[in-house]
Amino acid sequence: MMELPLAEMQERFGPWWQGATAVGDDRTRWPFGGSDWREAMYALLWIPEGVEYAVALAEPHRSELREAVARLMRALDAPEPDDAG
């Protein structure tokens, strides 16, 4: 579920909006599927910056995605590698 009106979601997502439904005036439910957490993560990357959302993702995909995001955050927070050495 994302905090984005359906009409705006359709405009931003182009043909990828298919299957989305309005939940009131300001929220949209966008069902996406996939065979694993990587496909779910790819779908989530389509949600525009600044748009809040909630994810209904079953285990074990939820835990696997959480672990991957934690690793990504550690990598982003780590000092850049020194290629000179």
The pLDDT tens digits for 47-84 are 999 999 999 889 999 999 999 999 999 999 999 988 76
Helices 61-77, 37-44: axis angle to 10 degrees equals 60
Domain boundaries, the chain: 6-77
The pLDDT of residue 84 is 61
The pLDDT of residue 20 is 97
The pLDDT tens digits for 22-47 are 999 999 999 987 788 999 899 999 99
Tokens, residue 60: 């074990």
pTM over 0.85: no
The pLDDT of residue 81 is 87
